[in-house]
Amino acid sequence: MTSTITDAETRADARRQPGRLRRERIGHLLQHHGALMVLAATVLVGTAAFDSFATPQNAANIVVSSSFLAIVAIGMTFVVISGGIDLSVGSSFVLAGVLAAYGSRYGLLVALLLPLAVCGAIGLIQGLIVARTGMAPFIVTLAGLLGMRGLMLAVSDEGANTYLVRSEAFSALGQASFLGLTLPVWITLGLVLLGGVLLQRTGFGQNVYAIGGSEEAAVLMGVPVTRVKVLVYLISGLLAGLAGALNAARLSSGVTILGVGMELDVIAAVVIGGTLLTGGAGGLTGTMAGVLLLGVIQSLINQIGVLTSSFQQVVSGAFLALVVVMQRLLHRAQRLS
Amino acid sequence: MAAAVLEARGISKEFPGVLALDDVSFRLDEGQVHALVGENGAGKSTLIKVLTGVHRPDRGALLLHGEPLTPDSPLAAQRAGISTIYQEVNLVPQMSLAQNLLLGREPRSRLGVIDMSALHAEADRVMTRYGIRADARRPLRSLGMGTQQMVALARAVSIEARVVIMDEPTSALEPREVDTLFGVIADLRAQGISVIYVSHRLDELYRICDRVTVLRDGRVAHAGPLDDLPRVDLVALMLGRDPAEIRREGATKFSGEHTTAASEPLVEARSVSRRPVLRDVSVQVRPGEVVGLGGLLGAGRSETAKVIAGALPVDGGTVIVAGRQVRRGSPAAAIRAGVSLVPEDRKAEGIVATLSVRDNIALAALPRLSRSGLVSDARVDRIVDSFVRRLRIKAASPHQRVSELSGGNQQKVMLARSLATGAKVLLLDEPTRGIDVGAKAEVQALIDELAAEGLAVLLISSDLEELVEGADRVVVLREGTVAGELSGDQVTEEAIMATIAATGDTDG
Amino acid sequence: MAEIAAAPRAWGGRVRLLAWLQEYGVYASVLALLLFNVVFTPHFLEVANFRTQLIQVAPVVITSLGLALVIGTEGIDLSVGSVMALASAIVVLYLGYGAPIAIIAALIAGAAVGACGGALVAYVGVQPIVATLALLVGVRGLANVLVPQLTEFRNPALITLGSRSVLGLPLVVVIAAALTVLVAFLVKRTTFGRQLVAVGGNRAASRLSGLPVRRVLVTVYVISGLLAAVAGVLATSRLQASDPTSLGLLMELSAITAVVVGGTPLTGGRVRVLGTVMGALLIQLLQATLIKHNLPQSWTQMVQAVIILAAVYAARGRRA
């Protein structure tokens, strides 16, 4: 081979747009680490403004209370990268809590496996419907949201019955501490690592990105699209179930009034973390930064005191809007260059 | 003779209402670069889809190295050694170059996870081999189209392909990128890999292809060595004409010449450019005149019409209607100026399938048919009725869904929509393609009638007969520029074909 | 290139059944449920019962009408429930200036939220689901910030709005009916209505035909916000209190269900106004039936889930 295009092309590019590479790098940085940078800035501001903010106690509080959202967000990241969305996670979370508390009377194993089995099965069914019928993921999981909330009410006497956790071992799962952090935090860390490897370092992960990037291309490149889609919703269901079960262990009861609108917080965290809702790009580090950012904002609002906690919703809504607008503008800029 | 690498025997494929392939046979030998040509609807894409396992043939057999082959998916075809590079690069833009190259066969470390350094090393190795110099870690979409196309090629070939199908691979490439591509093809040929090359650029075909198969209306119109075939003959075969016996038979419903007073042009495109598809194209149409736009697929005909209709942004040039410049890139402004386009792709850009015949006809004329935001039903009915009658649109009622009509009637609905705006300039992009003979004759007669009423008509057609008999002048485009203009007695099928076939510097 | 003469006769039986279901399923189901109740539910035919059902369904109907327009353009508006809450908060905040001013302020706020969503969709190019999701979260928060806890009020004008009757019908129901007629008129008779369905049916063709695509999109979201605000004001006046934490919560789900069940395809290009009203009635009736027969609330939601899936599946068959 004598001629090569790309060196010539790069030179031509360099002539045409000297700033292109730099712009591209900045865009990349914003897309992937924007949430992390904002998180760092917010923490700095909080530290400067409030003496009680940067204490180990407060940091531990933020991390502990964020861990459940984080676990759900891991699953959602998979779904969103594949180009889908899972609105059912909030319902899954509550249902799992109720089932875990109910199951705890039969011991640790049942308390853990019952919610996982049920939420996993529903995730699997949703995945099958999405992958096989081509119905829009948001409407399928919307039905899932309603269906699971109904199921939760059905098993808890219309929400009137709050089951108490009857297994010490199971409670310990949510409450025991190790090196100053509760077990759910460590479980979250483990899952982030595992999820990261799955997403970045396995064929399955590559396939998830490929489907979200271009489903048509993925089909032509030989990706088993149906299987990957089903698995993604299964993972999301399982993780939402696990988070719900751990939360029940922490609270020692299956509280029925939780989880309404949780899917929104989760999606907000994922999107703020730089995962595109159009699919094909993003990752777990960004999602974790997004989750922590929401936690830090909540904590700051508590510190300020005069503001009600609902201010957090305003901030995260505004943030979400800002992030998607930025993403669109970045996308356009990249297209034009 | 050794067994062919890939052979198709008597392939037929029928879709509802259309026989896309009719007893097509095709033979590809080792190390051969085989041109597959034909106009839209000739059956090229169907044949490729049969070869790559997207469609299954109704009749006939495929043989790979003499063994029967029945691919049931693109993946199965790939495994059998048939790789395809599509016209639109079919890779994942957000993923890195390396990930795209090796998706599905990433190197693993001892732990069973993907070994990133090995992945990049392997990608670098493949890229060096195909002369791609770029950072394998960069996302694919940050690279130029040429590089992307080369990555697609490298991926296709590195899956141990024996046959590589290239569907218009150069349509988005710059000339120097084309040179590189041809270098790779020469290399493939030297390795004994066979290539099926689909393109409409005659220069390219004659540069690299050994043999040619011409498809026309689902049949093989010609198959043989390319060197022996004069360019004009190839063009004639593609357009379905026999160069030896072209006579003016008057098979179309056109009356012939129109009386055009030597007036000012009603519409004029002045050196419009849109890289890389259009360069410096100028076209004028006077009132009462039908100007044909000739050329092969991808020559920039549809793009020219869309630029005039304000539907495509341009890099340079202006569109002038009745002496006044029209705001660029706004279809609404073009319609207000009296320009209306009937697009080629009825389904994607033409009909609104969920609406009725009536609503489709009235759509573009709504501002004229409303008063203070309310649609006047009486006026809509009047205009719809008059066009349904005039164009003889066959529908159960004006309230029938347009998607339930036949192609010909849908086309008439599109025409009615344009006319209802009170257009003075009509841009018709392949107005008679894919419609039945009767409707075709009616549409042709109508074009005549409209020109006689003083409209300016720009007619795009791949049907040479239609161009010659329908148009007063024909502007021939080749690869995005005007290759020549024919008027009066010059407007003959031979002249058009000669202009299309002429190499680079000749003017018509 | 194939002649797509999709004559209904050529369809398979299953597809035809699905198409029929999408077209008339909602009417048939409402009728069937009515008949069931007439036969099996005691006191069903009493006027008081009908009044209650209609009053309860009115806000859902009003919100669903706006959403149906958005879905007609192949969009979605998840923010409707939050807009109801915001309207409720603003009414109470401005009640000091008198009920009319307070109501107008609430409606303006609703329209403004819709304009934000519409601008994000039409001009920035954000997917409708994301744009309105951000609004769902943010606007609910805003409502909570403005009115942090349940706040009762005693403004007689506002209370009458929720409790008064006109010609024997509750005012709330009359307003819902009037808005239904208005929206139906908008869809059927106005230029905007024609443009709306065209934009949803084929955006490329609409652009080529010179339609003001972006303006149509923004307007549609503004209308949706406005109607959600109306629903919020009416619900507030019924409650005689503003409760931004729970008012309109999950309303987007009920509204989407009503629209989809009513036969408006999520793929756009079509708006079924009467179908949407029927969809809302169906869900209300279902809920009432289950309650009257001592079946728990949980059943409603599970049945609703199945109905949504069935409706979307039927719509899919129609397209194929």
Q: In which region does residue A259 sit, left (phi positive, over 0), alpha (psi from -120 to 50) or beta (all else)?
A: left
For residues C297-302, average pLDDT:
82
Tell me the C-alpha to C-alpha distance, in Å, between residue C302 and each of A89, A154, A262, B33, C316. Answer: 16, 10, 19, 61, 21
Give the pLDDT confidence of A41-72 residue by residue, as tens digits. Answer: 888 888 888 888 888 888 888 998 899 999 99
Is residue B305 within 8 A of residue B486, CB to CB? The reply is no
3-state secondary structure of B11: strand
> What distance in Å separates residue C78's CA from the closest CA in chain A?
11
Question: What's residue B118's pLDDT?
Answer: 92
Question: What's residue A5's pLDDT?
Answer: 43
Is residue C60 within 8 A of residue C254, CB to CB? The reply is yes
Cα–Cα distance, A242 to A224 (Å, whole number): 27
The first and second tokens of residue B37, run together, are 């040509």
Is the model more confident about A8 or about B132? B132
Amino acid residing at C125: G
Out of B40, B355, B406, the one facing C201 most closely (by C-beta) is B355
Question: What's residue B329's pLDDT?
Answer: 84
Out of C2, C190, C194, the one facing B359 most closely (by C-beta) is C194
Chain C hits for A318, Cβ within 8 Å: 134, 138
Please report how many Cα atoms fall inside a 13 Å half-sphere around the Cα of residue A301, on the Cβ side: 18
The first and second tokens of residue C84, run together, are 């109801």
Taking only residues 94 to 113 of chain B, the set having a beta carbon closer than 8 angstroms to any beta carbon of chain A reads 94-95, 99, 103-104, 106, 113
With a CB cutoff of 8 Å and minimum separation 6, the contacts of B374 are: C189, C190, C191
Chain C hits for B353, Cβ within 8 Å: 201-202, 269
Cα–Cα distance, C127 to C116 (Å, whole number): 13
Is residue A330 within 8 A of residue A31, CB to CB? The reply is yes
Say if residue C234's pLDDT is above 90: yes
Cα–Cα distance, A177 to A195 (Å, whole number): 23
Question: What's residue C248's pLDDT?
Answer: 87
> What distance in Å separates residue A311's CA from the closest CA in chain C?
6
Is any Cβ of chain A less than 8 angstroms from the Cβ of B176?
yes
Q: Identify the CA nearest to C136 among candidates B366, B179, A317.
A: A317
Strand-strand pairing, B278-285 and B267-274: antiparallel
Is residue A45 within 8 A of residue A220, CB to CB? The reply is no
Q: List b or e across C80-93, with b for residues whose CB sees 16 or more CB atoms inside 10 angstroms.
A: bbbbbbbbbbbbbb
Amino acid residing at A300: L
Is residue B56 within 8 A of residue B235, CB to CB? The reply is no
Give all chains having 3 or more CB-to-CB distances under 8 Å with chain B: A, C
Give the pLDDT confidence of C27-70 residue by residue, as tens digits. Answer: 888 898 888 888 887 877 777 888 888 999 999 999 999 999 99
Is the model more confident about B1 or about C191? C191
> What distance in Å separates residue A206's CA from the closest CA in chain B?
7
Is any Cβ of chain A less than 8 angstroms from the Cβ of C261?
no
With a CB cutoff of 8 Å and minimum separation 6, the contacts of B138 are: B96, B97
Question: What's residue B251's pLDDT?
Answer: 54
Question: What's residue B506's pLDDT?
Answer: 38
**Are B103 and A220 inside 8 Å of each other by CB?**
no
DSSP A163-176: PBP--HHHHHHHH-
Helix or strand run (H / E) with residue B284: strand B278-285
Question: What's residue A14's pLDDT?
Answer: 41
Say if residue C10's pLDDT is above 50: no
Amino acid residing at C87: A
Burial, B367: exposed, middle or buried (Cβ in 10 Å; 0-12, 13-18, 19+)? middle
Chain A hits for C266, Cβ within 8 Å: 136, 139
Is the model more confident about A260 or about B312? B312
Residue B460 φ/ψ, nearest 5 degrees: -100, 130
ipTM of the complex: 0.82
Say if residue A13's pLDDT is above 50: no
Question: What's residue B469's pLDDT?
Answer: 87
3-state secondary structure of B428: strand
Say if residue A6's pLDDT is above 80: no
DSSP A27-88: HHHHHHHHHHHHHHHHHHHHHHH-TTTTSHHHHHHHHHHHHHHHHHHHHHHHHHHTT---TT
CA angle B229–B231–B235, rounded 5-degree value: 105
Segments of chain B scoring below 50 in pLDDT: 246-250, 505-508
DSSP B56-111: --SEEEEEETTEEE---SHHHHHHTTEEEE-SS--S-TTSBHHHHHHTT---B-TT
Say if residue C72's pLDDT is above 90: yes
Chain C hits for B334, Cβ within 8 Å: 210
Out of A4, A5, A216, the one facing B90 most closely (by C-beta) is A216
**Are B92 and A203 inside 8 Å of each other by CB?**
no
Residue A1 pLDDT class (50, 70, 90 cuts):
very low
Report chain C residues touching chain B, CB-CB < 8 A: 1-8, 189-195, 197-198, 200-202, 204-212, 265, 268-270
| Inter-helix orientation angle C99-119/C80-93, to 10° | 150
Out of A1, A5, A223, the one facing B104 most closely (by C-beta) is A223
Chain A hits for B78, Cβ within 8 Å: 222
Cα–Cα distance, B56 to A102 (Å, whole number): 54
Amino acid residing at C139: V
* Sequence-ordered alpha helix ranges (H) in C12-127: 13-40, 47-72, 80-93, 99-119
Residue A15 pLDDT class (50, 70, 90 cuts):
very low
Say if residue A322's pLDDT is above 60: yes
Torsional sign, CA A317, A319, A324, A328 = positive
**Are B375 and C191 inside 8 Å of each other by CB?**
yes
Q: In which region does residue B392 sit, left (phi positive, over 0), alpha (psi from -120 to 50) or beta (all else)?
A: left
Residue of B nearest to C186 (CA): B374
Q: List the end-to-end C-alpha distance of chain B, in Å, as a whole number.
A: 44
Chain C hits for A139, Cβ within 8 Å: 256, 260, 266, 308-309, 312
Question: What's residue C168's pLDDT?
Answer: 82
Q: Identify the CA nearest to A180 among candidates A262, A58, A299, A275.
A: A58
Chain A hits for C125, Cβ within 8 Å: 328, 332
Question: What's residue B180's pLDDT?
Answer: 81
Cα–Cα distance, A268 to A82 (Å, whole number): 17
Chain C hits for B351, Cβ within 8 Å: 202, 205
